[in-house]
Structure 1
Amino acid sequence: MTLFREINSLLFALFLLVMTSLVYFQFTQTRDFMSQQMQSDLNNTITSLGLMLQPQIETGDVATAETLVNVIFEGGFYRKVTLKWLVDGKEQVWENPVVIKGVPQWFINLDLFETQKKESLITSGWMQLATLEVEGHPALGYQELWRVMNDTVMILSFLFILSIIVLRFKLNRILKPLHNVAIHAKNISQRKFDQDIELPKTTELKDVVGAINLMSGQLKQIFSTLDDEVNDLKEDKLIDQVSQLPNRQYLSAQINNWLNEPGFGGLILAKFDWLDDIHSKYGYQGRDEIIKVVSKRMQAELPDIAESVIARIANTEFAFLITKAEKSTIKVYLQTLIRLINQEITKAGCSPNTRFALGVSQRIENMNSADLLSQSDNALQQAQRDNKVSHWIDADQPQKYSREQWRSKLVDSINNNHFIFQWQPILSTRTKKVIQREIYCRLNIDEQIVTASEFMPFIELLSLGSQLDRCLLQSIEQQNILAQSSEGVAINLTHDTLQDPQFIQWLTQYLKQSIYADRILFEIPESAAISSLNQCYQLAEIIKAAGAKIGIDQCGRQIGSLEYLQKLRPNYIKLDLSFAYYEKLNQNKELCRALVNVAKGLGIAVIITGIEDQEQLAAFNSLKAEGYQGYISPVEDVDINHS
């Protein structure tokens, strides 16, 4: 029971007790008063009537005696009058029935008044003439008692109801701060830090509210400090301090991640020897200012052409990892970069198209990071040897299908649910048991199995992500895959899906109709959570409302704040593959630990990815993560069980 109800019930009981007591005392006093009043009236009547009857009885005037009695009796205040003549034993009786108007019969049946009689002997000197007996009528007592009690109950009931209304209003106002404290405390337990509660006027409650506000502020500061610590570590370990661009270490991890996932694009290595000329003329301070200006322009203009990672990997060397672009787009990116560099060279007073070189290579199938870096470096050296601003090593990889052919075949396979599913178990670090499974899909195209690494780049290029996710979810439901894993199945959502408002409406209906909605774990990439936070929040609320769960994939990949975790409140995060890569190099343990501390501080489970063997897993033991996945737990085929 709530505090409001307890106080309300207590005061209600006290009020009821007081009201009942008042009614009882009023009732008893009124009844006693009326009894005394009727007794006194009866005494007066029998005395006066006896004195009036004495002369008539002495003379034997029966008619006059009866007239006198009738006068008294017809007033209706007496139930019975008995006159007995002692001379001849004659007895006369006047009697009224007990009929009481305006009083309920149940009230009369309570017999609240005892029968009141009074007998008197009429004498003349020493001679006894007659006996007179008068019995009072209870009508007056019942009528008066009923009127008084009816008025009393009505007035007290009105006051009682009015008091209850006023009491509830006042209690609501008095206890509102406590209600706010309860909500605030609940939010704090869920790591939600709202604005401070307004201090109430009540002294005791003011102290409680003040303490809660203080605690909330301190906890908020702690979590903010953890977030700042992650940002500081990222800037210290992964950011070049002059250009504020990612450094070589971050670039290496991102290349490794990119090549381990479906994608297409290329890498440009750049050497800006003209910066050495600036250094010779103006010193390192002048060179650093130029680097800052150039870096800001590159960050502002180049990502609009294609999604990319721009890094400074040495004093005069830069790298541009273009993660989502076809060859034609890479050419536009390269031309824009050359134009931008020439503009800054000219502003610095140097000759354009001199003292810089760019080496370009394009990603091909089964390429590793060493191959990609080697190709770009060879292209850079070739440009320098030929005294050109750029050189492109064209792998000339044959395309399986044209863009339109890919569109036609992908749409056909997706719409006809030509999915072949596999999943990878995610194991508990404590018990080694499966805690969830991440599902992967392949497509059957032209009677050939096409892996995600081959078709996903074209899904993104052709904006088919939303359509793929819809059909994939429907196929999972139709093939009854969720029934096979009580631990839950993780499904990755594409960027296109998160940008599609119609998908959110469709997903709401899908989850309502799904029998196993509570077993679905939707995973959102961190890049989408940062760039489309509002859409992700809307999607997360729908998912949670249906009983499903939400996770953040590639957590820690982006250089930026983790504030999105505060708003989205995912059930779990999956650390980016780069942390496993850093662990191999024995780097960035502090950053990984800080990120895990932020997640745990918000009550979010942590899953480590990219684990290859027991030795690597042991290196992460100190983080106390909830689960892990990687080559250590290989991908398995899903047994199709049609419902």
Structure 2
Amino acid sequence: MMTLFRQLVLRVAITGIIGALILLPLSGYLLSERLQQQQIEQAQEHFNWIKQQLDNQWRDQQKYDLLALARLPDTISPLASVRLTAPSSTQQVDIADSYSVPTFVAASGLFDLKDFRASLQHQQNGQTILVATSNTSKFYWQWWQRLTGVAAILAIWMVVSFVCVLVGIRGHLSVLSKIAKTAQDLSHLKFSSPLPLPKSGELRRLGQAINTMSSKLRFEVEGYNKQVDGLKHALLTDQVSSLPNRAYIVERIDSWLKEADGGVLVLINMSFLDEVRLKYGFAARDDIVSKFAAHIRALDSSLLGFLAARISADEFLIVVAGDAVEDPVAALQQRAQQAYEDSNVGLSSSYGLGVVPKDLQRNAEEILAQADTALMTAMQSPDHIHWYQQPDEAPMFRQQWREALLSGIEQGKFRFNSNPVIDQGGDRIQLDLDISLEINGKPMLESDLMPYLKMLRLTTEFEQSKIRAATQLVLQYTPVVFGLPQQTVEDPSFISWLQQLLRHQQYHFQFEVTERLVLTNPSAVKSLRSELKNLGYKLGVNRFGVHLADLDYVSWLRPDYVKLDPAFVATPQSEMQLQMCRTMFNTLQTLNIALYLDDVPNDEVLSQFSSMPYNGFKRRGEQMEILLPEVKQVNR
């Protein structure tokens, strides 16, 4: 695409050429008119001189000798030839040489041949006729020389003017380029120093408007961020450890359990803290708590699957998401042991870690109860740690699962149940899918199959078969949403396959990733976002708000929409919690990102958000089954 600078340069060049094409013929015409007049005047003057010389000859010699005058005129004479015709003789002299000019100039007919006649009457010779012909080649030559000089002057003038215009254009465009870059940065909420104001009036006013808009937008965004930070700290943060409190993390355990990825829940009891308080005071206890929390935050910054909170005076609750959980759990035990040794309370008190692996069939109450059970065992154990359950599948059982999953994926017998996301007017925006696959004759939910798919490395094959089956759905205008797990987003072969499928035909599809995946692998998600956008498909982020401290990603990822984590709408919220939601919603509205409320339980909860700028919501439990038109075998 041609840049503005090149367009302006091209226009200036074309304008200059057109001007030259107009000025040059006009100059040639005016010059020819002037030389035509000079031709007549000079030829007449020269003719009169010759006639006078011949009259003088007759008085002195009583005869005419035209040849004697031939050497008198110079070679630039306006006369080409002179002929003297008497009754008894004729004399002719060619006075001037011809001049070399281009053929098209000589053939242009700008100058006509002029003949000058005069009669000389003398008694002895009778009537003598003097005829002179004008020298047109001289004037053609003069016209061509002067026209080429005018053309050279015009060319020099055009080059100088062109250079001056280019310098001026480049100067103005450099200012416009800075303004455009600043405006683009503002669209991504990136703020820089104010623009230097240009000298020209229009650009100066534009620069002032950009600077004013930037300062106002920065003020509003900083105000939103301060409100979010302040409300988050006041509502959801423990003052001593600066970790989230019980209210924050308990609400998010249900959301974590619904995610397909693995993980563990760790409940840490540091009962020795009460003895530290009794022996050394609150300050000493708070110092140990603060140091231990700092170690947890260090793990949180290196492992984005962490969610940590202080849920009581001597208990910490940590959620470790993902498959690699042994090293984080070992690091937590090491930090707890170090805190215990630093307390100097002897053997009268202890500590323990209760670890519960994630089970997709549990709810928050069950997994917390099992963590308490594991913790009680850990407090009596010399190892200070107890795993409530460690899955250990037999090789034959694993092979059976592989065969059953491969058969189900090969047949592609999926069932799609939808839960619509609707706007406040009741119109459907998109359809969230609950997907099940027939395994050994029984339908099993995708969430129940995911641990086995990951263990057997069949996630990519499952997702490909599922999306192929969805291409057979009878859809009208409402798009369906597919959540992409981490394994597929990080798999180049799956991304390439998805590009080929979506490029071949346009489907009513949209795609989602979890907020944790955005924070864990931002480069892969950003690449996916770019590819889907180029193909005309939307990408959203679900579980939005789980990691309140890391919401800056919305400014660089710019998802088409986000779905608020169900923990925010699980129960009626306090006024301060609603104020925090309102601030987040306003920030998303500023970025032009749609926001949907996910899993709203009832109208009472929904009414609390009525004054906030959300775009749609999904009710809990409202499902509409979508059947395939006919079940076909889907080849991998």
After TM superposition, the score normalised by the length of structure 1 is 0.81
The residue number in structure 2 matching 1:564 is 553
Give the SS at the match of 1:484: coil
| 1:516 is aligned to 2:506 | yes
The residue number in structure 2 matching 1:232 is 230
Mean Cα deviation higher: 245-254 or 18-27:
18-27
Q: Which amino acid aligns with 1:452?
A: E
The residue number in structure 1 matching 2:584 is 595
Mean Cα deviation higher: 493-502 or 569-578:
493-502
1-structure distance, mates of 2:214, 2:32: 61
Mark the CA change 1:300 to 1:352 in structure 2 (over 3 Å): closer, same or farther: farther
| 1:351 is aligned to 2:349 | no
Deviation string, structure 1 residues 91-128 (Cα, Å, up to 9, x no partner) = 969699x9976445554455433554433342459998
| 1:496 is aligned to 2:496 | no
2-structure distance, mates of 1:353, 1:403: 46
The residue number in structure 2 matching 1:199 is 196
**Residue number among 39, 42, 52 corresponding to 1:40 in the alignment:** 42
Mean Cα deviation higher: 536-545 or 386-395:
386-395
- Tell me how far 1:36 sits from its aligned partner: 1.9
Mean Cα deviation higher: 274-283 or 496-505:
496-505
Mark the CA change 1:112 to 1:403 in structure 2 (over 3 Å): closer, same or farther: same
The residue number in structure 2 matching 1:292 is 290
- Tell me how far 1:134 sits from its aligned partner: 2.4
- Tell me how far 1:156 sits from its aligned partner: 1.8
The residue number in structure 2 matching 1:446 is 440
| Contact preservation (8 Å) 1:50, 1:132 | no
The within-5 A match list for 1:316-327 is 316-324=314-322
Q: Which amino acid aligns with 1:371?
A: E
| Contact preservation (8 Å) 1:73, 1:94 | no
| Contact preservation (8 Å) 1:425, 1:434 | no
The residue number in structure 2 matching 1:553 is 542
2-structure distance, mates of 1:484, 1:315: 54
Mark the CA change 1:579 to 1:99 in structure 2 (over 3 Å): closer, same or farther: farther
- Tell me how far 1:636 sits from its aligned partner: 2.5
What residue ranges of structure 2 are gaps of 5+ in the alignment?
none
Mark the CA change 1:22 to 1:548 in structure 2 (over 3 Å): closer, same or farther: same
| Contact preservation (8 Å) 2:414, 2:469 | no
| 1:272 is aligned to 2:267 | no
**Residue number among 453, 456, 473 corresponding to 1:459 in the alignment:** 453
Give the SS at the match of 2:600: coil
> Matched residue pairs, number?
627
The within-5 A match list for 1:515-534 is 515-516=505-506, 519-534=508-523
The residue number in structure 1 matching 2:141 is 143
Give the SS at the match of 1:133: strand
Give the SS at the match of 2:570: helix
2-structure distance, mates of 1:272, 1:540: 44
Mean Cα deviation higher: 118-127 or 137-146:
118-127
The residue number in structure 1 matching 2:365 is 370
Mark the CA change 1:196 to 1:16 in structure 2 (over 3 Å): closer, same or farther: farther
Mark the CA change 1:55 to 1:598 in structure 2 (over 3 Å): closer, same or farther: closer
The within-5 A match list for 1:92-107 is 102-104=100-102, 106-107=104-105
- Tell me how far 1:537 sits from its aligned partner: 1.7
The residue number in structure 2 matching 1:609 is 598
- Tell me how far 1:142 sits from its aligned partner: 1.4
| Contact preservation (8 Å) 2:515, 2:541 | yes
| Contact preservation (8 Å) 2:308, 2:316 | yes
Q: CA RMSD in A?
A: 4.5
Give the SS at the match of 1:134: strand
The within-5 A match list for 1:157-172 is 157-172=155-170
The residue number in structure 2 matching 1:315 is 313
Q: Which amino acid aligns with 1:484?
A: L
2-structure distance, mates of 1:353, 1:301: 29
Mean Cα deviation higher: 296-305 or 492-501:
296-305
Mark the CA change 1:580 to 1:168 in structure 2 (over 3 Å): closer, same or farther: same
The residue number in structure 2 matching 1:410 is 405
2-structure distance, mates of 1:365, 1:79: 114
Mark the CA change 1:36 to 1:380 in structure 2 (over 3 Å): closer, same or farther: closer
| Contact preservation (8 Å) 2:197, 2:204 | yes
Mean Cα deviation higher: 340-349 or 316-325:
316-325
2-structure distance, mates of 1:175, 1:363: 59
| Contact preservation (8 Å) 2:31, 2:143 | no
| Contact preservation (8 Å) 1:428, 1:628 | yes
| Contact preservation (8 Å) 1:4, 1:171 | no
Q: Which amino acid aligns with 2:196?
A: L
1-structure distance, mates of 2:264, 2:9: 71
Deviation string, structure 1 residues 420-448 (Cα, Å, up to 9, x no partner) = 14153544423321222234432232233
Give the SS at the match of 2:280: helix
Mean Cα deviation higher: 403-412 or 388-397:
388-397
| Contact preservation (8 Å) 1:268, 1:376 | yes
- Tell me how far 1:495 sits from its aligned partner: 1.5
After TM superposition, the score normalised by the length of structure 2 is 0.82
Q: Which amino acid aligns with 2:366?
A: D
- Tell me how far 1:285 sits from its aligned partner: 1.3
Deviation string, structure 1 residues 425-480 (Cα, Å, up to 9, x no partner) = 5444233212222344322322332211211133344554444434444444xx34
- Tell me how far 1:139 sits from its aligned partner: 1.8
Mark the CA change 1:587 to 1:54 in structure 2 (over 3 Å): closer, same or farther: closer
Q: Which amino acid aligns with 1:533?
A: P
Mean Cα deviation higher: 358-367 or 605-614:
358-367
| Contact preservation (8 Å) 1:306, 1:333 | no
- Tell me how far 1:289 sits from its aligned partner: 0.8
